[in-house]
Structure formats: C-alpha cells, structure tokens
Amino acid sequence: MQGRNRLDSTPGTPGAVSADSAATALRKGRPQLSRLDSLSVHMDISEIMEYLYLGAKTVSQDGDALADMGIRHIVNCTVEEPNHFEARGVKYLRVAVEDSPDADIANFLEPAHLFIESARKEDAKVLVHCTMGMSRSSTIVLAHLMYDGMRLKDAMTLAKAKRSMVSPNSTFMAQLLELETKLFGSQSIDLGLYKKSRFDEVTSFAC
C-alpha cells in the first residue's frame, strides 16, 4: 500500500515542516530550520529517537545528506535497493524481505535490534529504511523499541507521532505481537482491530 511520498511535509504531523511554511518563515525573518528539518522538507526521513531515523529509500541514496546528519549505519529493509555507500565506510545490515502477506520478518528482528544497539553504543546514528518507510522499516523500529523495554502500543504511539504513516502490514504486526508476548507475557494491540484500522490512531486498535 502506498503512502505519502514526503511525510515530513504532511500538514498536522508533529514536528513536520512543509516547504511553504519554511519559505514563509524565512521571509518573515524567523530563525532558520534545523539541519534535520531542512532535509525533511526535501527528503522522506523522520527522527524517532536521537540516534534512530526512519525513512524511505530516497534518503538512503543521498550520501551527502547521510554524512551531514551523521548517519553511518543503515538497516536496508528491501530486497532490491543497493547498499550504496559501503565503499565510504557506511555499515549496513540487509533485511531482505518483501512487503507481502506471506513474508516472514521475525528472524530479522533481533539481529536488527543488535545492529542498532551496537551503533548506539558507539554514539552513532542509524537509518532504517524500506521503500516508503511505512511497513518493513517501521516493523524493525518497533521491534527495537520493544527490545528496549517499550510495549508495542506505546512504541506505535511514539513512532506514529514522529511519522504518521507508520503501519506494518498485518502479517508483520502479528509477528510483532508474538515478540511482545515473548518479551512481556501479553499483547497490547488487538490484531483483529488493527487489520480494520491500521492507519488510524493507536487507541482504535489498542487492547
């Protein structure tokens, strides 16, 4: 399912900056946008945590932008997108999964978490991307937040506040719920309700 191509310019998204509002602010002499917000006007990337970014493949193709943001680790959640900057020393983890109802992402959740944690311990920044930054990459980010101690509904609330299109497909959500049960002994999201309203507010499918 397709989402907006420039999430961070979507009106109403917390922390979002549109090109029009940026131009208006500059005309009125307001302080310039932060480096992240300036990039977000043109590229599809969202800061989830200080060390963790979620985005589309477009940002993974811009080496200068990645360097400018201090991103030296990338989780590539696509089958086809190249690891563009390995020759520049960027570290990659490939999560080779299709965004389809019969795909299995479960075996990648812990390795991706460990990769992100390794970068975090080095005070490095990590980009997790798929094609749109909506399903596969958000699944990896949500799993990381759960491994870090957050319940799934709280991780979803946080991620959607930063990037409103966050919505793993129902198969990936089922696998996240299995992980939540393993980590916490219960589930905080109703899968049946999620299938009906995955693009709505978290309260519409939370237990």
- CA dihedral angle for residue 10, residue 11, residue 14, residue 15, rounded to 10 degrees: 70
* Long-range pairs, 154-157, Cβ under 8 A, ≥24: 154/188, 156/189, 156/202, 157/202
72: enclosing H helix or E strand: strand 71-76
Strands (E), 1-49: 45-49
Annotated active-site residue in 39, 66, 130, 145: 130
Active-site residue flag, 130: yes
CA distance 76 to 96: 8
Longest dimension (CA), the chain: 54
State the catalytic residues: 130
